[in-house]
Structure 1
């Protein structure tokens, strides 16, 4: 069976930067979080689909995390937007 070239990207972690550091250094910015809940396959497929649509790079998402619901996982994407 062939291995997807993006399969390892799910294991990569983005550099850790505190949101408070970003908020202090760049005024008029706020963080917005996008969260995907579902099965492991469902979350991974959604991340890949959003990547193909140009929404976010695969490695910008958090590693798969346990969800409050049994049998589910979640992944979080944090974006910073300009505010007025």
Structure 2
């Protein structure tokens, strides 16, 4: 699967889960585009999440801010 296709699929899953309320853990980053990209890069370099697992940066109502979502399935006990 290509990285772009994988990213689009992850983005769709993240947005669907936010809307549907599916059981998942999410990390949401909202801020200046460079800050959001920097946090994603740092989390990748720490082995927390692959960069392609994050949704693409999307604009918020604030023109100086972007949002990106990481979603992971919630483990059932």
TM-score (norm 2): 0.70
Tell me whether 1:77 sits opposite 2:70 in the alignment: yes
Tell me whether 1:49 sits opposite 2:42 in the alignment: yes
- Greater helix fraction, Structure 1 or Structure 2: 2
Moved over 3 A (4+): 16-20
Unaligned 5+ residue runs, structure 1? 1-8, 21-28
Greater Rg, structure 1 or structure 2?
1
| Secondary structure of 1:82's aligned partner | coil
Give the Cα–Cα distance (whole angstroms) in 1 for the partners of residues 61 and 25 of structure 2.
21
TM-score (norm 1): 0.65
Listed as ranges, the matches of 1:1-84 within 5 Å are 12=4, 13-15=7-9, 30-84=23-77
Give the Cα–Cα distance (whole angstroms) in 1 for the partners of residues 72 and 8 of structure 2.
13
Give the Cα–Cα distance (whole angstroms) in 2 for the partners of residues 50 and 60 of structure 1.
11
* RMSD of Structure 2 on Structure 1 (CA): 2.4
Is contact 1:14-1:62 (8 Å) kept?
yes
Give the Cα–Cα distance (whole angstroms) in 1 for the partners of residues 33 and 23 of structure 2.
29
